[in-house]
Amino acid sequence: MENKNSNPHTKYPVPPFPQQDQETPGTEEQLMPTADHGETSYKGSGKLTGKKAIITGGDSGIGRAVAIAFAREGADVLISYLDDVEDEDANDTANYIREAGRKAVLVKGDISKEDHCKTLVEKAVEEFGQLDILVNNAAFQMARETLQDIPAEEWRYTFDTNIHAMFYLCKAAEPHLKPGSSIINTTSVNAYSPSAQLLPYAATKGAIQNFTANLSQILLDAGKGIRVNCVAPGPIWTPLIPSTMPDPETFGQDTPMGRPGQPVEVAPAYVFLASDEASYIAGATIPVTGGRVTI
């Protein structure tokens, strides 16, 4: 049923949540309370009719909400996800895309590898005949209490997944993106107010912010007509949280709204940036943070 409550403090579940723990990267099925991706509430209005999109990390969380919204706005979607444990989530997302009357393509693999990123773009062009939107959303994080607790391998993998993959995908996609196309990167409130428990993750999100602004200028100065922007979510309730963060029961409680956001609350920012309504917006960041300040 569509949520009719308009009070932002109480529109969605408020912590404390049930005690829970998941193995990384986590699944939607085990998440308590269930996250809202707009399955019953998001209504499209043709903003992305005829567009073709890639969404990394599109099996669950924010990526799933964006995939549902894009499909209901008229876009075909390629969903990129990591491994077998996410097969069920990826298939569920694909079903929502198909129910909206759009084409869904699933590609499994590790985007920290450049060859796989090239394969994603090639697959999208092969299946759709074109590429109009690239959403770099997939990310890795792991909470650690001290600097000494962070393994060097984990530091490298966080950068490989969160920022190096973004470079690989943008580079592979650029030759296929026509004027009017859009690249949307997922940064974070951590780019402005970094969590002490998320040093590697927060560092990559700061890098994404700079990468987005810089790439935007490069492509516009070259007359490419490709807009590059990003969305900065605050604490959003996804499987990543109980699989990587301590005390998920109180997650989001420290926001001015007193709760985490739901993926459905973030998706419209991606739709807007991907649409022609945002034709004069480039190099920008839309914060969706539950009131946490990003200035």
Active-site annotation, residues:
201
Spell out the residues 6+ positions from residue 132 whose beta carbon is closer than 8 angstroms to its own. Answer: 51, 52, 53, 75, 177, 178, 180, 181, 182, 274
Identify the burial level of 277 via C-beta atoms within 10 angstroms of its C-beta, where 0-12 means exposed, 13-18 middle and 19 or more buried. exposed
